[in-house]
Amino acid sequence: MLFTGGDISVLSAMDVTTGSLSFSINEPQSSWSGYSMNGAPFIGDNGWVFARTYSPGHVTAFNTAARSIAWRSAVGYVGQPAYRQNVIYAQSGQTQQLQALDGLSGAVLWSWPAPGAFSPCSNVLVADTHVFTSTSAGTHAINLSTRQSDWSTTENGTLALSGGRTLLIISGCDTSPSTIHGFRVLPL
């Protein structure tokens, strides 16, 4: 099954062999204004599909077996969330925090307030020991055990991890990407 969000007011499940629509689930609390949300749905450990809606930016859990919405977050988020071991990591523009959400209930498990102004600007990445978040002030590696920043840089932008445990930051929160910065961050 291939899941697509389109405008994320509808989650569509496509048959990968035929390309035909298998089913869809409506998200009535989302509205779309004609812009791309630059994100993708992702599948959790229990088979549910999670997606950030366009507006108001809720993270919504779709129970694909029951063809229903299991839960939606209380606040809106920006950027592409990350998922690991039934926890969703997302940047909230409303609370000005990185938040860890329980994948079964949507409850906030913990939050990390960035120092200074928090204007989230990118995707979130999660590895074995750290979650990475990028804001207008820089990028941080938050330790999953201590929930504190172990490392930071003033560089910000779109985040990626290479197979060699290098954090790549494609610069530009509010500008066109221009430079790729690589940081060796061990362990992850």
CATH number, domain containing residue 145: 2.40.128.630
State whether 89 and 179 are in the same domain. yes
The pTM assigned to this predicted structure is: 0.88
Counted domains in the chain? 2
Choose the final residue of a domain: 57, 72, 87.
72
Domain holding 88, by residue range, is 79-188
State whether 108 and 65 are in the same domain. no
State whether 86 and 159 are in the same domain. yes
SS3 annotation, the chain: CEEECCCCCEEEEECCCCCCEEEEEECCCCECCCCCCCCCCEECCCCCEEEECCECCCEEEEECCCCEEEEECCCCCEEEEEEECCEEEEEECCCCEEEEEECCCCCEEEEEECCCCCCECCCCEECCCEEEEEECCEEEEEECCCCCEEEEECCCEEEEECCCCEEEEEECCCCCCCCEEEEECCCC
pLDDT band with cut points at 50, 70 and 90 for residue 61: very high
Structure tokens at 169: 């930051």
State whether 61 and 84 are in the same domain. no
Percentage of residues of the chain with pLDDT beyond 70 = 84
**Residue 8: pLDDT above 70?**
no
State whether 113 and 176 are in the same domain. yes
**Residues found in the chain:** 188
pLDDT at 180: 87
pLDDT at 58: 84
pLDDT in tens, 82-126: 999 999 999 988 888 999 999 999 999 999 998 776 677 789 999
Residue 186 makes CB contacts below 8 A (sequence gap 6+) with 165
- Whose CA is closest to 50, among 17, 83, 97, 20? 83
Torsion angle, alpha carbons of 4, 6, 12, 16, to 10: -40
pLDDT at 78: 86
